[in-house]
Amino acid sequence: MSAKNISGKFGEMYASKYLEQNGYKIIRRNYKTRFSEIDIVAKDGEVLCFVEVKTRKNKEFGLGLEAVDSNKRDKMILGARSYMASYSPSCDIRFDVVEVYGEVLHSGFLVSEVNLIKNAFCVD
């Protein structure tokens, strides 16, 4: 497994814990469809959140949020629609992004910063 994949997995695990510490209830991780993947599906109160996790070593090449481009947003929307069709929840939805900055060490993953961006983008 590449260092990028390892840091991504650590980032997703850390983001899940961070969300739980901030009152979210994790429903599902790595929800996959034929055309998309949602890193985390969670509830924040009565709102169903589809969460993209972006793990970076630093901000040298841009913020994690900046990597959630129109193509990624379109795929998240497809994934959310699939989830809603499959599980039929009747609630409001939101798209969040969690930026995790840190690095893989021999002893684990050292996180330097976490940012939760609620309602990172809207669906028209």
Domain, as residue range, for 79: 3-121
Share of the chain residues as helix, strand and coil, in percent rounded to the nearest 5 = 30, 45, 25
pLDDT of amino acid 2: 60
Dist CA 48 CA 39 (whole Å) = 14
The domain that holds 70 is classified in CATH as 3.40.1350.10
Using pLDDT thresholds of 50, 70 and 90, give the confidence band for residue 110: confident
pLDDT band (50, 70, 90) for residue 3:
low
Query: How do residues 26-79 score in pLDDT, each as one tens digit?
Result: 999 999 999 899 999 999 999 999 999 999 988 888 899 999 999 999 999 999
Q: How far apart are CA 26 and CA 48, in angstroms?
A: 10
Rounded to two decimals, what is the model's pTM?
0.91
Sign of CA dihedral 65, 70, 71, 73: positive
Number of domains in the chain: 1
Residues 53, 58, 21, 46, CA torsion sign: negative
Q: What are phi and psi of 5, to 5 degrees?
A: -65, -40
Q: Is the predicted pLDDT of residue 82 greater than 70, yes or no?
A: yes
Q: Of 61 and 124, which is predicted with more confidence?
A: 61
